[in-house]
Amino acid sequence: MNRREFVTSAALGAAVMSSDKRSDNIFAIDSFCHFSSLEYFDLLLTLNGPNGSQGLIIQRRLTAAIKELYDINARLKAMDDTGVDISILTSQPFIESAPGVSMDPVKAIQAARFINDYMAKIADDHRKAIKWVAQLPVNLPSNDSNYALMIGELNRCLSNGAVGGCFTVSPTVKPPDHPDFVGDSTKLGLFGEAARLNVPLWMHPVRPASFPDYQQDVPPISKYTLHLYLGWLLDESVSMVRIAFANAFGKYPDLKIICHHRGALIPLFQARISYEFDRFYNQDTGIPANIDTPYLDHFRKFYVDTSTSADAKADASMLKIVYDFYGADHVLFGSDAAFSPGGGRQGTLEAIESIKALPVSKQRIENIFSNNILKLLQRR
């Protein structure tokens, strides 16, 4: 039996077959990894124009150096080399990487449809190995027409085989507790629509290099790639707090948000966001009264992947903290491939080994590798 045989319907089903390449017989679904198109970069650069394109140019140069990021045959080979059976791909670069595109409804929807149609074709050609997540134009100026474009693209992509949608977070884009996300009296918002459709949303940071580390930096850029290596972790964490305290999970109990990089700073600094110090001294933090305590319970409603960058010992210790915080059902195997040495192989193997090192039952290990994500992808 081919190790990639599994149900290819929209519901994905539960017919997961064991691997013929690994002695542990674990079926592995990479829930958070990336793919791109050099033609998509070129389209964004053309639509954006020269102003604000430096980050895109740098991203394109990096992507062109990693064949596994844009050549599907190279990617499938990397999957075979690392024992990954299915990859759920989020496409890059994000529309918000091109500021002249993300705020323009005509350009943004053109870009979204280009990359989403490209990903749909890749997945259709490799149904047993590839699933995909839709890029959405989430940073358009807020009005009824632009909101309809965003939701319309989500629905169009779902009808073309996408398993969910992706939204981006950054100090430079629309905050995730904006009504276009959490809804208001006139609309459900992206979160409400995703909950109604029973599809997960992937959350990814997109802070650009043009966002300086300090307001007085000249030129106004982030140094030493800090916007990515540390800024993205901060942006994910801040966004999770904003979503939780906007009561998104209270409004939409079926909302499923998958966060990158193991939930960033939240599990590592959980005592700080418990707000016990502030509550003890009756400090006003602005947290709405309808947010129940303990506050940490709201963060445990997110789903997180297993992607990180650390040495093997630290990696395993960090994942145990993440596992204990979010719980057995909310941790998903995700590698961030192909953004690691060896065309993504190093990061993938490190993620796999850190999961296997968890002191939990084999069944729970298998849940992290595939069963947890399969449950999220089952549509009503």
Bond prior to 219 in cis (omega within 30° of 0) = yes
Output the pTM of the full model: 0.93
pLDDT at res. 339: 95
Give pLDDT tens digits for 45-101.
Answer: 999 999 888 889 999 999 999 999 999 999 999 999 999 999 999 999 999 999 999
Quote the CA–CA distance of 116 and 120 in Å, as a whole number.
6
Give pLDDT tens digits for 329-357.
Answer: 999 999 999 999 999 999 999 999 999 99
For the chain, how big is the Rg over CA atoms in Å?
Answer: 20
Give pLDDT tens digits for 198-211.
Answer: 999 999 999 999 99
Q: What angle do CA 188, 190, 196 make, to 5 degrees?
A: 60
HSE-up of 308 (CA within 13 Å, CB side)? 26
pLDDT at res. 316: 85
Give pLDDT tens digits for 358-380.
Answer: 999 999 999 999 999 999 999 76
pLDDT at res. 9: 39
Give pLDDT tens digits for 258-295.
Answer: 999 999 999 999 999 999 988 888 999 999 999 999 99
Per residue in 176-203, is it b (16+ CB within 10 Å) or e — as a string? bbbbbbbbeeebbbbbbbbbebebbbbb
Element (H, E) at 329: none
Is the CB of residue 179 less than 8 Å from the CB of residue 187?
Answer: yes
pLDDT at res. 130: 98
Q: Name the nearest CA neighbour of 78 among 31, 135, 115, 33.
A: 33
165-169 and 130-135 strand pairing: parallel
SS3 track for 27-96 = CCEEEEEEEECHHHHHHHHHHHCCCCCHHHHHHHHHHHHCHHHCCHHHHHHHHHHHCCCEEEEEEECCHH
Residue 256: pLDDT above 80? yes
Q: Taking every pair of C-alpha atoms in the chain, what is the biggest distance, in angstroms?
A: 62
Residue 176: pLDDT above 50? yes
Quote the CA–CA distance of 332 and 163 in Å, as a whole number.
15
pLDDT at res. 310: 63
pLDDT at res. 280: 84
Quote the CA–CA distance of 42 and 28 in Å, as a whole number.
33
Quote the CA–CA distance of 134 and 112 in Å, as a whole number.
8
Domains and CATH numbers, the chain: 29-376 (3.20.20.140)
Give pLDDT tens digits for 5-41.
Answer: 433 433 333 333 333 444 478 999 999 999 999 999 9
pLDDT at res. 24: 72
Give pLDDT tens digits for 295-342.
Answer: 999 999 999 999 976 666 788 899 999 999 999 999 999 999 999 999
68 residue type, one letter: E
